[in-house]
Amino acid sequence: MASGFFALLDDIAALMDDVAVMSKVAGKKTAGLLGDDLAVNAEKASGFVSSRELPVLWQITKGSLLNKLIILPLGFLLSAFLPSVIHIILLFGGLYLAYEGAEKVYEFAFPHKKHHKKIDTTEKLTKEEILAREKDKVKSAILTDFILSVEIVIIALGTVEGAELPTQIIVVSMIALVATIGVYGIVALIVRMDDFGTKLIDLNEEDNSFSDKVGRFLVNALPKVIKGLSVIGTIALMLVSGGIFTHNLDFLHDIFPQIPAMITEFFIGLIVGILVLIVVKLVKKVIKSFKK
């Protein structure tokens, strides 16, 4: 009886040790995606009336958790019964990530005018119209989160495919939960940065005081932080997608052994992304011509 109990404890200890090691590996593999996830969600959650930023972010966070509840069981079923499909989905996810990164580079190199209506410009909008726009933006953010969540879960599953199913469930669930709490927690701090800065500016009646300087710095830093995150996220997309291809396609293993792996992965992601972007644009042109 006692020996069975201690054997159970030993099995649990071994399982938790495996979980710790694999969580570290899976965390490194998915970290690149979190930069893009953070940048996208910071942009999605900004632009609201100050009093609505945190409630809206909470709605998006709940939607993100629901996304994980849908994606995780499907991912575990595939891993248990159709593990080969994980590799296929992983490669398609890599194509999508490379395309998304290349599209951002293309938009930066060849910018085109976009007409955005800010939600806080409410002089001529009724309360119902404001809430409707807010609802649409929340839906868009949750849809984007769903796509990124699929990629995070699949990449995490790819790192633990050789492990027992209980280990896979614990590791991938932890990664998914940490991703949601970590990303949206940081987004909450970012979107409230300017509000906190404004409070510091109004803290006292002195002109150009220390609190005024810090407050102005925070207010002015917000758009730059979001833009910086977008750049970091784009680089991360290239690295993650390139890493997916080099680790899952045999002919790309050690293709340039003399060059650091990070540089190789970046350029492979960029090249693949450009090729996919060209194909997508050609398909769109063909569809557009058929419609005419």
pLDDT digits (tens, 9 = 90+) for 168-204: 888 888 888 888 888 888 888 887 787 888 888 887 7
User: Residue 112's CB: how many other CB atoms inside 10 A?
Assistant: 6
Q: 3-state class of 256 per DSSP?
A: coil
pLDDT for 1 equals 45
Q: Measure the CA angle with vertex 85, ends 81 and 90; round to 5°.
A: 135
Give the residue from 18, 15, 276, 32 showing the smallest Cα distance to 155.
32
Paired tokens of 9 = 């404890």
Paired tokens of 245 = 């291809």
Paired tokens of 18 = 């495996």
The Cα–Cα gap between 134 and 128 comes to: 10
The Cα–Cα gap between 190 and 184 comes to: 10
The Cα–Cα gap between 258 and 264 comes to: 10
pLDDT for 170 equals 84
The Cα–Cα gap between 182 and 20 comes to: 18
The Cα–Cα gap between 156 and 23 comes to: 9
**Chain centre to alpha carbon of residue 4:** 44
CA atoms within 13 A on the CB side of 197: 16
The Cα–Cα gap between 233 and 38 comes to: 8
pLDDT for 280 equals 94
Task: Render each residue's pLDDT in the chain as its tens digit; 292 residues.
Answer: 444 433 433 443 444 444 454 455 445 555 556 666 666 666 666 666 666 777 888 888 899 899 999 999 998 888 888 888 888 888 888 898 889 889 989 988 887 654 444 444 444 667 677 777 778 878 877 887 887 788 788 878 877 777 777 878 888 888 888 888 888 888 888 877 878 888 888 877 777 788 888 888 888 887 888 778 778 778 877 888 888 888 888 888 778 888 888 899 899 999 999 999 999 999 999 988 887 6
Paired tokens of 167 = 């280990």
Looking at this protein, which amino acid is placed at residue 33? Answer: L
CA atoms within 13 A on the CB side of 15: 14
Sequence-separated (6 or more) residues with CB below 8 Å from residue 86? 75, 78, 79, 154, 157, 158, 161
Entry field: residues in the chain = 292
The Cα–Cα gap between 123 and 288 comes to: 38
The Cα–Cα gap between 64 and 37 comes to: 11
Q: 3-state class of 209 per DSSP?
A: coil
Paired tokens of 53 = 């930023």
User: Residue 95's CB: how many other CB atoms inside 10 A?
Assistant: 17
pLDDT for 281 equals 92
pLDDT for 29 equals 56
The Cα–Cα gap between 21 and 14 comes to: 11
Q: Alpha-carbon Rg of the chain, whole angstroms?
A: 23
**Chain centre to alpha carbon of residue 48:** 21
The Cα–Cα gap between 120 and 135 comes to: 14
